[in-house]
C-alpha cells in the first residue's frame, strides 16, 4: 500500500509499534529450556492485550501466533515442544493486524555459546539489512535494495536465500511488489514516496536454497545449513525510511 493520509500513517505506526514491542518481548525471553510454543504464547498474549491479531493466523490459518525458526529452518517454523538449546540460532518473526492495517518484523539471535560462523552470520545478516534500508529511497529502483544486501552477503561469504523476498504490506500481510534480497534486473521499477514495504534479507552458510517440510509450513535449508533473517516494515521517503516496527 501507499500511505495516503494521516489515518493511514497513524494506524501503521500503531500496528508497527505493537509488532516491534512483541518481537522485543519474545527475544528477551529466549533462553535455554524454553519451548518455542511457550515463546509463541508470550508473543500472542501480548498481541491480544494490544487489540491486535496474529497476521499469519488471520490470513493463512497458520498453526501459531508467530513464526519461530531454529538453526537450519529459514522461515515459518511452527511453535511446538522444541526446547531452545545453548548454541542455537533463533529467528522470531512477528506480523500482526489491527483495524485493518498490517505490519511485519523479525530478528535472529544466538544463544551462547555460539560458533564463530554463527556469530558472523548474524553480524553479516544485520549489516545486509542495514544496507538494504539505506538503499530504500523514493525514486530508487527496487533492485537497488537487493544489490546492496547481496553485496554485503557475498563479502561475508554467505548466500542469499532467493526464494524468500521482502514484500509490500499495509492493508494485507503480503502485497505487491516483491522486494528480492539479491540483485535482479527485472525489478527496476522505482520506489514511491509513502510506499509500505518490508526489507528482509535471509542469509545462509550454505548454498542458499530451501525446501518445504511435510507440515506444509516449515522452510528448511536444503543442505541443513544455518540461516538468519532481520526484517522491518518501512515507509519509503526521499531520505532514510521510516521504520515503523523499530522500537527502542
What is the mean pLDDT of the segment spanning 194-221?
Answer: 98
Q: What angle do CA 208, 209, 213 make, to 5 degrees?
A: 135
What is the β-pairing status of strands 210-212 and 219-221?
antiparallel
The per-residue pLDDT for 104 is: 98
> How far separated are the first and last CA of the chain, in Å rounded?
26
The per-residue pLDDT for 67 is: 98
CATH architecture designation of domain 6-243: Alpha-Beta Complex (3.90)
pLDDT > 90? residue 187 = yes
pLDDT tens, position by position, 21-55: 999 999 999 999 999 999 999 999 999 999 999 99
pLDDT-derived band at 248, boundaries 50, 70, 90: confident
| Long-range interactions of 60-63: CB distance < 8 A, separation 24+ | 60/173, 62/217, 63/217
What is the mean pLDDT of the segment spanning 3-20?
Answer: 98
What is the mean pLDDT of the segment spanning 69-75?
Answer: 98
Amino acid at each position: 500500500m501507499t500511505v495516503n493520509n494521516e489515518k493511514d500513517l497513524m494506524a501503521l505506526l500503531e500496528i508497527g509499534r505493537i509488532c516491534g514491542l512483541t518481537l522485543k518481548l519474545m527475544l528477551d525471553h529466549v533462553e535455554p529450556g524454553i519451548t518455542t510454543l511457550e515463546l509463541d504464547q508470550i508473543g500472542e498474549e501480548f498481541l491480544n492485550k494490544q487489540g491486535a491479531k496474529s497476521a499469519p493466523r488471520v490470513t493463512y490459518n497458520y498453526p501459531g501466533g508467530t513464526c519461530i525458526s531454529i538453526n537450519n529452518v529459514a522461515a515459518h517454523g511452527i511453535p511446538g515442544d522444541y526446547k531452545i538449546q545453548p548454541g542455537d540460532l533463533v529467528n522470531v518473526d512477528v506480523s500482526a493486524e489491527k483495524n485493518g492495517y498490517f505490519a511485519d518484523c523479525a530478528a535472529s539471535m544466538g544463544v551462547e555459546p555460539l560458533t564463530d560462523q554463527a556469530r558472523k552470520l548474524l553480524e553479516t545478516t544485520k549489516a545486509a539489512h542495514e544496507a538494504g534500508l539505506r538503499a530504500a529511497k523514493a525514486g530508487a529502483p527496487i533492485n537497488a535494495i537487493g544489490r546492496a544486501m547481496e553485496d554485503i552477503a557475498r563479502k561475508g561469504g554467505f548466500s542469499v536465500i532467493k526464494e524468500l523476498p521482502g514484500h509490500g504490506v499495509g492493508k494485507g500481510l503480503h502485497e505487491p511488489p516483491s522486494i528480492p534480497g539479491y540483485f535482479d534486473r527485472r525489478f527496476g521499477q522505482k520506489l514511491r514516496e509513502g510506499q509500505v514495504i518490508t526489507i528482509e534479507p535471509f542469509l545462509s552458510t550454505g548454498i542458499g536454497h530451501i525446501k518445504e517440510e511435510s507440515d506444509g509450513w516449515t522452510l528448511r535449508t536444503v543442505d541443513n545449513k544455518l540461516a538468519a533473517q532481520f526484517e522491518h516494515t518501512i515507509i519509503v521517503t526521499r531520505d532514510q525510511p521510516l521504520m515503523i516496527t523499530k522500537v527502542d
